[in-house]
Amino acid sequence: MNNSAAMISINNLRKFFGTNEILKGINLDVKNGEVLVIIGPSGSGKSTLLRCIKGLERPDSGTIYIEGQKLDERNKNYRVLQQEIGMVFQHFNLFPHMTALQNVIEGPITVKKMPRDKAIEKGLNLLKKVGLLDKKDEYPSRLSGGQKQRVAIARALAMQPKIMLFDEPTSALDPELVQEVLNVMKELAGEGMTMIVVTHEMGFAKEVADKVVFMDDGMILEEGSPNVIFSDPKHIRTRNFLGKII
Ligand code: ADP
Ligand code: MG
């Protein structure tokens, strides 16, 4: 059902790749300003779920509502809704031939038709926010993984998203670079951004998440507050999974 109190409402979402059912009826609500952390083993469908929300994969059935509006290619506001969802990937996906600043202003200029000087002004503010103003003219190849990911976050924010999706944003980083990215994400959460974060950074989840969801084999097996999920998981598979990563 369309739950207009939710920023995102996902209802019975199913996705097949060929004959493999990858998402087996996902139901999920995220309220405005909430941070949802998704955990679960590799191959459980976490990325596919985020990609469906971002519109990078088309679900076979089920619905996704953003602030009460159905995310549907046939709706004329589909593109606008899709732009309101920012996504950050494990492998950054920056444009390699563009500087940090060019990466950040590209979307606002080409998609939102923002005047260049305004886009630059906003872009510089965002690079400042993620602590990279001094790197504005560097190309991605000259940035560390943590810096690249922070540029990627600034680039997503430049589109003024209502929701930010993070797909294992720190899993490709050297351990000493993880915290600088998590800190930017924490700050964003503190500002009230609605976020869905796939991560196995339990410290982050405990500190920042309002709700943690455990996914396994295309289903949500368990959800609850981080305290409950981490200290008293109900499902044997959640317990086994947490036993492996903690
Ligand atoms: P997770 O992010 O939890 O590791 P994924 O969503 O990436 O899981 O993948 C879930 C399952 O879907 C895996 O078995 C994966 O091989 C399969 N899968 C993902 N993307 C595709 C695709 N484009 N084509 C076929 N199978 C895919
Ligand atoms: Mg994944």
Nearest ligand to the CA of 46 is 1
Helix runs in the chain, H state only: 46-54, 78-83, 100-110, 116-129, 145-157, 175-190, 202-208, 226-231, 236-245
Exposure string for 82-111, b = 16+ CB within 10 A, e = fewer: ebbbbbbbbebebeeebbbbbbbbbbbbee
Distance 113 CA to ligand 2 centre (A): 32
Atom of ligand 1 nearest to the CA of 49: 6
- Closest Cα partner for 243 from 235, 44, 217, 197? 235
Tokens of 115: 């005047």
Q: Is 103 in the pocket of ligand 1 (CB under 6 A)?
A: no
Q: Is the dihedral of CA 222, 22, 217, 84 positive or negative?
A: negative
- Closest Cα partner for 12 from 67, 56, 49? 49
Rounded distance, CA 71 to CA 194, Å?
17
For residue 138, give the DSSP letter.
-
Q: What percent of the chain shows pLDDT beyond 70?
A: 98
Atom of ligand 1 nearest to the CA of 218: 10
pLDDT tens-digit map of 129-171: 999 999 999 999 999 999 999 999 999 999 999 999 999 999 9
What is the ipTM score, two decimals?
Answer: 0.98
Q: What is the pLDDT of residue 1?
A: 46
Q: Is 46 in the pocket of ligand 1 (CB under 6 A)?
A: yes
Nearest ligand to the CA of 52 is 1
- Ligand 1 pocket: which of 22, 167, 199 to mutate (most atoms <8 Å of CB)? 22
Atom of ligand 1 nearest to the CA of 45: 6
Helices 100-110 & 145-157, crossing angle to 10 degrees? 20
Distance 101 CA to ligand 1 centre (A): 32
- This prediction has a pTM of 0.96
Q: Is 199 in the pocket of ligand 1 (CB under 6 A)?
A: no
Residue type, 94: L
Q: What is the pLDDT of residue 75?
A: 87
pLDDT tens-digit map of 13-58: 999 999 999 999 999 999 999 999 999 999 999 999 999 999 999 9
